[in-house]
Amino acid sequence: MVANPSLVLNKIDDISFETYEAPEITESTDVIVEVKKTGICGSDIHYYAHGKIGHFVLTKPMVLGHESSGIVTQVGKGVTSLKVGDKVAIEPGIPSRFSDAYKSGHYNLCPHMSFAATPNSTEGEPNPPGTLCKYFKSPEDFLVKLPDHVSLELGAMVEPLTVGVHASRLGSVKFGDIVAVFGAGPVGLLTAAVAKSFGAAAVIVIDIFDNKLQMAKDIGAATHTFNSKTGGDYKALIAAFDGQEPNVVLECTGAEPCINTGVNILAQGGRFVQVGNAPGPVKFPITEFATKELTLFGSFRYGYGDYKTAVSILDANYKNGKDKAPIDFEALITHRFDFKDAIKAYDLVRAGSGAVKCIISGPE
């Protein structure tokens, strides 16, 4: 037996280190990845603190982690795009290959999705394995090779970056667009960075914390920022944006005031993409929405081509070296931990101690 050290969420407030048997290749297209870097996501913390997100309820132990990169250690005999030693980013959600959602090109909406570190409600079935372990098995087509100049740490950020890619693609963000992003957490900052990479002429990031807004500017993701707690109403927001009404809003908070403000600041015929999850129903300015002929998109995870696009963004961003990179994605990594201290890492992020993106190395 090959040991597979793993970090396991047993129940609310209970995380432990466990050792399982490492996965083995069973299909010709299987790939075994030795995980090297894993980011902590807000959903991980939600399960840790509350045991559920919507209808995903933790009822049995679950290996944590879904934002990971690593090194290929084994490949099935049918694998052609990867070889042992390649650096890869792991796309952590595998749909049913037989679902209508998969066949129609919307596999992120597959009702039978097996998504890493997301509880499985099927009685008697184990939860899908998370990626915070030494060895992780994936189909070849859900791994994306990383360019030489994109580090494994950046590879672990591909998953949340891809959320921003999916949102920008849904909102058809293109060269010259004027974009407003609500929320300066990790997803909001990365979403703003994607909009900028897609060619947006101006990107304003809105939040209630000045230090987060400063980071949005410092990393090169935002051309403008606005503190919605101290800065005033939506008219003041537009004034802070040099009088520009955005034609795209990417809402990454799920907060009712932000949703309402987003509709109010959008230009006529604009596009509104809802990325953040709300805790429940929200009041929505439907008359304003209708009279402006706005378009609303829901955004859930990511779909076909989004992972490769995210890696391409990092590739282009760092092709001339870190010093000449237009966006400093690495600056979002504010905390680093070894695997042996992974529980401490989760507790730090849960405590809200100022971590933007926390990366765990290993297990070695």
Residues 12-41 have pLDDT tens digits of 999 999 999 999 999 999 999 999 999 999
* Helix H or strand E encompassing 88: strand 87-90
Task: Kindly tell me if the per-residue pLDDT of 123 is higher than 70.
Answer: no
pLDDT score, position 353: 81
Task: Give the burial class of 55: count Cβ atoms within 10 A of its Cβ; 0-12 exposed, 13-18 middle, 19 or more buried.
Answer: exposed
Residue 122: pLDDT over 80? no
CATH class of residue range 161-298? alpha beta
* pLDDT at residue number 127: 83
Q: Long-range CB contacts (< 8 A, 24+ apart) of 262-269?
A: 262/180, 262/182, 263/288, 263/289, 263/292, 263/294, 264/234, 264/288, 265/180, 265/234, 265/237, 265/238, 266/180, 266/292, 266/294, 267/178, 267/292, 268/292, 268/293, 268/294, 269/293, 269/294
Each domain of the chain, given as residue ranges in start order, spans 3-149+332-361, 161-298
Tell me the CA distances in angstroms from 156 to 22, 191, 325, one per residue in order: 21, 16, 18
Decide if 315 contacts 151 (C-beta within 8 A): no
Tell me the backbone φ, ψ of residue 159, rounded to 5 degrees.
Answer: -60, -55
| CB-based burial label for 29 (10 Å; 0-12, 13-18, 19+) | middle
Q: Tell me the backbone φ, ψ of residue 187, rounded to 5 degrees.
A: -70, -40
* pLDDT value of position 279: 85
Task: Grade residue 126 by pLDDT with cuts at 50, 70 and 90.
Answer: confident
Q: Which two tokens stand for residue 132?
A: 């915070």
| Predicted pLDDT at 306 | 98
| CATH topology assigned to domain 3-149+332-361 | Quinone Oxidoreductase; Chain A, domain 1 (3.90.180)
Is the distance from CB of 38 to CB of 357 less than 8 angstroms?
A: no
Task: Locate 111 and state its tokens.
Answer: 């009702």
pLDDT tens-digit profile of 284-315? 999 999 999 999 999 999 999 999 999 999 99
Rounded percentage of the chain residues whose pLDDT exceeds 70 = 99
Cα–Cα distance for residue pair 155/161, rounded to 1 Å? 10
pTM equals 0.96
Reported as a pLDDT band with limits 50, 70 and 90, residue 121 is low
pLDDT at 276 over 70: yes
Question: Can you give the pLDDT at residue 86?
Answer: 98
> CB count, 10 Å around CB of 93?
18
CA distances from 250 to 73, 113, 163, 259, 341 (A): 38, 25, 11, 10, 35
Interatomic CA distance for residues 135 and 33, integer angstroms: 6
pLDDT confidence of residue 178: 98
Mean pLDDT, rounded, for 243-258: 97
Q: What are phi and psi of 279, to 5 degrees?
A: -70, -15
CA 25/CA 238 separation, integer angstroms: 55
Residue 120 binned pLDDT confidence (cut-offs 50, 70, 90): confident
pLDDT confidence of residue 346: 98
- Residues whose CB is less than 8 angstroms from the CB of residue 321 and which lie 6 or more positions away in sequence, other chains included: 149
